[in-house]
Amino acid sequence: MPMSTAQETPSTEEDTEPEELESIDVFWLPGEGCDGCSVATLGATDPGIEDLLRGQVPHLPQVNLHHHELAVESGKAYVDGMRDAMAGERDPYVVVVEGSVPNERLIDGDGYWISMGKDENGEPVKMVDWLDRLAPGAAAVIAIGTCATWGGVPAAQGNLTDAMGTMDYLGRDYRSQLDLPVINVPGCAPVGDNFIETVAHLLLHIGGFGPPLELDELGRPKWLFGETVHRNCNRGAYYEEGSFAEEYGSEKCLVSKGCWGPTVKCNMPSRRNLDGVGGCMNVGGKCIGCTMPGFPDKFTPFFEKAPGAMISTTSSKILGGIMSRLRRNSMKKLDTSTRWDESGGITERLYQWKLKRGANYDPDRGLERRPGAGDD
Ligand code: SF4
24 strand-pairing partners: 63
Q: Are strands 124-126 and 115-118 parallel, antiparallel or unpaired?
A: antiparallel
- Which of 238, 246, 250, 259 for mutating ligand 1's site (highest number of atoms within 8 Å of CB)? 259
**Burial (Cβ within 10 Å: 0-12, 13-18, ≥19) of residue 30:** buried
Q: What is the CB-side half-sphere exposure of residue 113 using CA atoms within 13 A?
A: 22
Atom index in ligand 1 nearest the CA of residue 261 equals 7
Domains of the chain from N-terminus onward: 17-221 (3.40.50.700), 227-357 (4.10.480.10)
Atom index in ligand 1 nearest the CA of residue 228 equals 7
> Cα of 254 to ligand 1 centre, how many Å?
6
Atom index in ligand 1 nearest the CA of residue 238 equals 6
Whether the CB-CB separation of 184 and 219 falls below 8 Å is answered with yes
> Cα of 280 to ligand 1 centre, how many Å?
10
Whether the CB-CB separation of 256 and 246 falls below 8 Å is answered with yes
Whether the CB-CB separation of 287 and 261 falls below 8 Å is answered with yes
Measured CA to CA, the distance from residue 260 to residue 258 in angstroms comes to 6
- Collect all residues with Cβ–Cβ distance below 8 Å to 301 and sequence separation of at least 6: none
Q: Which of 108, 118, 113 minimizes the C-alpha distance to 161?
A: 113
Residues of the chain where predicted confidence (pLDDT) is lower than 50: 1-11, 13, 373-376
pLDDT at 294: 97
**Phi/psi class of residue 110: alpha, beta or left (left: φ > 0; alpha: ψ in -120 to 50)?**
beta
Within 6 A (CB) of ligand 1 lie 229-230, 233, 235-236, 239, 253-255, 259, 261-262, 281, 286-287
Measured CA to CA, the distance from residue 112 to residue 30 in angstroms comes to 14
Measured CA to CA, the distance from residue 115 to residue 338 in angstroms comes to 74
> Cα of 104 to ligand 1 centre, how many Å?
40
Coil vs helix vs strand at 23: strand
Measured CA to CA, the distance from residue 66 to residue 47 in angstroms comes to 19
Q: Which of 252, 249, 137, 135 minimizes the C-alpha distance to 182?
A: 135
pTM: 0.85
> Cα of 265 to ligand 1 centre, how many Å?
12
373 upstream amide cis, omega within 30 of 0 = no
pLDDT at 375: 44
- Which of 227, 287, 299, 305 for mutating ligand 1's site (highest number of atoms within 8 Å of CB)? 287
**Phi/psi class of residue 194: alpha, beta or left (left: φ > 0; alpha: ψ in -120 to 50)?**
alpha
> Cα of 241 to ligand 1 centre, how many Å?
12
**Burial (Cβ within 10 Å: 0-12, 13-18, ≥19) of residue 368:** exposed
DSSP H/E element including 230: helix 229-232
293 upstream amide cis, omega within 30 of 0 = no
- Which of 240, 244, 281, 303 for mutating ligand 1's site (highest number of atoms within 8 Å of CB)? 281
